[in-house]
Amino acid sequence: MSKIVNEAKIKNKIIVKVREQLEHRAFWLYLLTDEAEKRGLDPEDFASAAITRCGMSQGSNLVKQGGTKSLKGLKKTLFTQAARWVFEMDLVENTDDTLYLDFHYCPLVKAWQKAGCSDEEIARLCDIAMCGDHGIGKCFDARLELPKCIAKGDDVCALRYIKDKKNKIIGE
């Protein structure tokens, strides 16, 4: 039984249906990694790379859609009001160079809890799933820090996108 506290407060029927779709995708990830392990494969050898590629693809599309690599653009294109309801998100800070969000609920964690995953498995699956978010950040010339994580027992997922000034071209 999971000790992770992850209960939704927003119960709107449409939001619940969107969450169910996200749970279904998370269940896929669990099943893929589980089947890999049954076949003697280490999911760490491929799953993170595959999810990073997915995030890079999504991030590239978001940059095109928003027409900017500003983190204000990332908030506008990905972290819409609907997404904020689904993850019960608070926008903590948003500038061109920072995007700080606190997620109070995670449908992916809920899916892994429903599947009977141990807390250790949930943390590992979350690390893999977060590779997509890291990939998105790279497309915006930003790194993603995750100082708190629901999947690791924290009360929120604290996503902190921060522009990587080292790679910025002088004069930009």
pLDDT value at 2 more than 90: no
Report the predicted TM-score, pTM, of the whole model to 2 decimal places: 0.93
CATH class as words, domain 13-163: alpha beta
Give the DSSP per-residue string, 36-80: HHHTT--GGGTHHHHHHHHHHHHHHHHHHHHT--SHHHHHHHTS-
pLDDT at 1: 67
**Averaged pLDDT score across all residues of the chain:** 95
Q: What is the Cα–Cα distance from 133 to 20, expressed in whole angstroms?
A: 20
Q: What is the Cα–Cα distance from 137 to 31, expressed in whole angstroms?
A: 26
pLDDT at 172: 45
Once rounded to an integer, what is the mean pLDDT over residues 41-54?
96
pLDDT at 25: 96
> Could you tell me the residue ranges of all domains in the chain?
13-163
pLDDT value at 3 more than 50: yes
Segment 84-121, tens digit of pLDDT: 999 999 999 999 999 999 999 999 999 999 999 999 99
pLDDT tier, 54 (very low <50, low <70, confident <90, very high otherwise) = very high
Kindly report the number of other CB atoms within 10 A of residue 160's CB atom: 19
Residues with Cβ within 8 Å of 81's Cβ and at least 6 positions away in sequence, in order, are none
